[in-house]
């Protein structure tokens, strides 16, 4: 850690008596301020630069007051100078202090006047080298909001390296191969046959998962759920719960079953559907595995019953869902809304761009279900055309909202946050729909960018290059700044001044213990899904390297380190993560979502000893996960 003392006084702080004397003198000398009741006093101790970034330390208070002050940090000049300074950021002097500061503040009650304020890298890029001023903001009275001691003699430290954009992004090797037969998106017929063989072999992991899949399809088929209910309004929360995502709680306001039933015009006495697209994909997968040779287990549904069930769900949504008041498909952002519990829309600077995320989460499963059903000959020509039209409409909706959201987010002060699981979801959906429809132009647009009306503003190759960090990489800077240098006290975002190879940009999310690794793992799983469909297209995403050498294997290995030392579904702490690079930012968070990616990583990277060693414990953990029957990556594991 580099620490820059700002005066001879700060080097004398060896005894409590010296501390009291030194701090009192500093308070008096700062810009001629006098120690009078009610005045602002304080001292800048210095700037620390370490793995958590640059942060300024010191103390500030209003003489004789117990309240913690807000402090404003300026560059170039004090706020009260004739030529106003440049406002940088605000912070709070609310940390515990030693008796000497109590004495200097004349405070025997509050005793929280120290500060340790992170300075975001994006601010340092603009202000590095400029004189730094800290102003304490009064809590009572008409006294001046004064600059504290050390202001003007301290300087903003050097900015961290800025990540350079490559002249062009590497392309995925291989060539698009058109294919008339199904399945052709996430699975091939040969893969389904292999999974069916493994599922029929007693004692294998696949046989246990296949039995669980059969049981789940049976429970879905016999559940008192109105699977014919759909939604055609504007409320995105209902699409999320009814069509796209079955787990509860989901996002937003999490509509109750009564609210869902009313909105979806459900039948009395039956529960509304949750995650219809995922339910259909599980049933279609089960039917396809039986058709390819898996045994039908006792008391389990037949292939034909499961296929009819999946088809029923898909067609009712294709024919009746996502429509406006005139019966037309809702294809633009303005057609959707995010409603509060009182029925009023939530309005933000980003519009209702959750529409692309919501639709993406569900449509990858409806694509998978249609692809599997066509592969086993369960769709008539008319049914295929209706589902093709549905998926084409969803594609255009996601493309439109994706491009709008990208344009607005790039102008936002935290623009680097667009490289996240949400946009990974968009592209997984766009790539899967275009492959389902065998549309090479749209597939290339989602992968490489495209031109004109087909353009995808944030294509897969650019997203990949920003989502995963590579060798000798530097963090993206336009991220929500840290509010504390301590990750355990910092919400809802936290990031470090360094990044390790394989870290995922989504790591800055830090609102709760399940989020910080959960979101990166969502991004990584989406990238694995796209790698699977690219493999079936003729492109080798598993060998792909970004402009910084980053890869899927590198990212999986990075997060597998926490699974190895802290444990799957365990909380990360200093004592159990010392061997994992850049671990500080993950203290207090749960190692969640890692198991799913370890399994497919060990399957697709069979020479990776780290992943192979974790394969068994990942399987044991995943059996108890609510995501253990995820249908797109089902069977993509070692037996």
Mean per-residue pLDDT, 21-40: 52
Q: What tens digit of pLDDT does each residue of 401-428 get?
A: 999 999 989 999 999 999 999 999 999 9
What is the longest distance spanned by two Cα atoms in the chain?
A: 89
**Residues 183 and 292 placed together within one structural domain of the fold:** yes
Looking at the domain assignment, is residue 328 inside a domain?
no
Determine contact, residues 204/198, Cβ cutoff 8 Å. Answer: yes
> 427 exposed, middle or buried (CB, 10 Å; 0-12, 13-18, 19+)?
buried
Mean pLDDT of 95-120: 93
Same domain, 187 and 290: yes
Pair (252, 125) in one structural domain: no
pLDDT of 475 reads 95
pLDDT at 271 over 80: yes
Q: Would you give the distance in Å from CA 575 to the centre of its chain?
A: 26
- What is the residue-averaged pLDDT of the chain? 90
Is 441 inside any structural domain?
Answer: no
Residue 303 DSSP SS3: helix
CA atoms of 455 and 403, how far apart (whole Å)? 8
pLDDT at 28: 42
Mean pLDDT value of segment 469-491? 93
Q: Are residues 115 and 20 in the same domain?
A: yes
Check whether residue 141 and residue 185 sit in a common domain: no
Give the Cα separation of 37 and 39 in Å (integer). 6
The residue among 344, 377, 410 that closes a domain is 377
205 in a structural domain: yes
Query: What distance in Å separates the CA atoms of residue 354 and residue 377, rounded to the nearest whole number?
Result: 35
Closest CA to 427 of 401, 389, 390, 388: 401
| pLDDT one-digit tens code per residue, 546-566 | 999 999 999 999 999 999 999
Using 50, 70 and 90 to split pLDDT, how confident is the model at 59? very high
DSSP-derived secondary structure letter, 567: -
- pLDDT > 90? residue 607: yes
How would you label 473-496 residue by residue, b for 16+ Cβ within 10 Å and e otherwise? bbbbbbbbbbbbbbbeebeebbbb
Q: In this structure, what CATH number is given to the domain that contains residue 120?
A: 2.60.40
Is 147 part of any domain? yes
Band (pLDDT 50/70/90 cuts) for residue 349 is low
Report how far residue 226's alpha carbon sits from residue 264's, in angstroms, rounded to the nearest whole number. 10
447-451 average pLDDT score = 96
Same domain flag for 6 and 134? yes
Q: Is pLDDT of 35 > 50?
A: no
Residues 192 and 275 in one domain: yes
**Total of domains in the chain:** 3
- 33 confidence band (pLDDT: 50, 70, 90): very low
Confidence band, pLDDT 50/70/90 cuts, at residue 80: low
Give the pLDDT score at 17.
Answer: 38
How far is it, in rounded angstroms, from Cα 253 to Cα 258?
Answer: 14
Strand residue runs (E) in 370-526 = none
Range of the domain at 494: 467-639
Same-domain pairing of 365 and 251: yes
The residue-averaged pLDDT of 506-511 equals: 90
Domain identity same for 99 and 198: no
* Cα separation, 534 vs 536, whole angstroms: 5
Return the residue matching tokens 């787990």.
247
Asked whether the beta carbons of 541 and 461 are under 8 A apart, the reply is no
Residue pLDDT, tens place only, 452-473: 999 999 999 999 999 999 999 9
Compute how many other C-beta atoms are within 10 angstroms of the C-beta atom of residue 7.
18
Q: What is the DSSP string of 219-285?
A: HHHHSSB-TT----SSBHHHHIIIII--SSS-STT---HHHHHHHTTPPTTSBPPSSHHHHHHHHHH
Tokens of residue 332, six digits:
């633009």
Task: State how far the Cα of 144 lies from the Cα of 142, in Å rounded to an integer.
Answer: 7
Q: How far apart are CA 330 and CA 359, in angstroms?
A: 11
CA distances, 494 to each of 3, 156, 506 (Å): 22, 21, 10
208 and 87 housed in the same domain: no
- C-alpha radius of gyration, the chain, whole number: 28
On the question of pLDDT at 500 being above 90, the answer is yes
* 97 falls within a domain: yes
- Asked whether residue 225 is assigned to any structural domain, the reply reads yes
98 in the same domain as 205 = no
The residue with tokens 């301020």 is 33
* pLDDT of 73 strictly over 50: yes
Q: Are residues 129 and 186 in the same domain?
A: no
With respect to residue 10, please indicate whether it lies within any of the assigned structural domains.
yes
Cβ neighbour number for residue 5 with a 10 Å cutoff: 14
> What pLDDT does residue 348 have?
59
Flag whether 239 is in a domain.
yes
pLDDT at 13: 37
Beta strands 131-137 and 112-119: pairing type?
unpaired
């Amino acid at each position: 850690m580099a620490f820059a003392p700002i005066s001879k006084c700060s080097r004398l702080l060896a005894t409590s008596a010296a501390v009291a004397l030194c701090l009192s003198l500093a308070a008096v000398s700062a810009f001629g301020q006098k120690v009078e009741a009610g005045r602002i006093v304080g001292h800048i101790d210095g700037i620390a630069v370490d793995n958590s970034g640059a942060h300024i330390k010191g103390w500030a208070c209003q003489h004789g007051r117990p309240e913690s002050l807000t402090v404003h940090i300026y560059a170039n000049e004090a706020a009260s100078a004739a030529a106003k300074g440049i406002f940088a950021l605000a912070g709070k002097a609310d940390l515990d202090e030693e008796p000497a500061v109590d004495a200097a503040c004349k405070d025997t009650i509050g005793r929280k006047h120290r500060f340790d304020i992170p300075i975001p890298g994006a601010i340092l890029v603009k202000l590095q080298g400029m004189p730094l001023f800290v102003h304490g903001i009064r809590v009572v009275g008409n006294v001046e909001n004064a600059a504290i001691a050390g202001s003007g003699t301290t300087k903003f430290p050097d900015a961290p390296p800025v990540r350079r954009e490559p002249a062009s992004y590497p392309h995925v090797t291989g060539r698009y191969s058109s294919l008339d037969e199904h399945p052709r998106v996430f699975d091939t017929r040969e893969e389904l046959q292999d999974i069916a063989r493994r599922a029929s072999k007693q004692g294998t992991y696949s046989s246990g998962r296949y039995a669980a899949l059969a049981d789940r399809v049976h429970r879905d088929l016999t559940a008192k759920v109105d699977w014919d209910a759909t939604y055609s309004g504007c409320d995105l929360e209902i699409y999320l719960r009814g069509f796209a995502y079955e787990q509860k709680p989901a996002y937003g306001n999490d509509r109750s079953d009564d609210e869902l039933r009313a909105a979806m015009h459900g039948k009395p006495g039956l529960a509304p559907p949750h995650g219809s697209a995922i339910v259909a994909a599980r049933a279609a997968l089960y039917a396809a595995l039986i058709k390819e040779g898996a045994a039908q287990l006792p008391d389990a549904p037949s292939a034909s019953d499961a296929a009819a069930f999946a088809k029923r769900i898909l067609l009712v949504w294709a024919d009746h869902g996502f429509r406006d008041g005139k019966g037309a498909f809702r294809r633009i952002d303005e057609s959707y809304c995010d409603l509060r519990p009182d029925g009023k829309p939530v309005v933000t600077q980003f519009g209702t761009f959750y529409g692309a995320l919501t639709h993406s989460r569900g449509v990858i499963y409806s694509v998978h279900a249609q692809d599997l059903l066509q592969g086993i000959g369960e769709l008539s020509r008319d049914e295929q055309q209706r589902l093709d039209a549905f998926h084409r409409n969803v594609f255009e909706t996601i493309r439109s909202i994706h491009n709008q959201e990208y344009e607005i987010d790039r102008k936002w002060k935290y623009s680097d946050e667009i490289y996240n699981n949400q946009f990974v979801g968009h592209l997984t959906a766009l790539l899967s729909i275009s492959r389902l429809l065998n549309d090479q132009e749209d597939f290339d647009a989602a992968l490489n960018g495209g031109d004109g009306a087909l353009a995808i503003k944030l294509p897969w190759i650019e997203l990949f290059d920003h989502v995963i960090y590579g060798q000798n990489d530097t963090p993206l800077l336009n991220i929500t700044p840290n509010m504390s240098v301590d990750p355990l006290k910092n919400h809802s975002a936290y990031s470090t001044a360094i990044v390790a190879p394989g870290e995922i940009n989504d790591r800055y999310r830090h609102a709760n213990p399940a989020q910080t690794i959960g979101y990166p793992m969502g991004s990584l799983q989406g990238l694995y899904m796209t790698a699977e469909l690219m493999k079936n297209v003729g492109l080798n995403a598993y060998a792909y390297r970004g402009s910084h050498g980053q890869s899927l294997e590198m990212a999986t290995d990075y997060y597998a380190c926490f699974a190895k030392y802290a444990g799957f579904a365990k909380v990360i702490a200093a004592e159990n993560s010392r061997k994992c690079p850049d671990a500080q930012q993950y203290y207090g968070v749960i190692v969640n979502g890692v198991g799913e990616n370890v399994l497919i990583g060990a399957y697709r990277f069979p020479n990776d000893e780290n992943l192979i060693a974790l394969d068994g414990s990942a399987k044991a953990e995943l059996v108890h996960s609510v995501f253990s029957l995820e249908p797109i990556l089902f069977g993509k594991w070692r037996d």
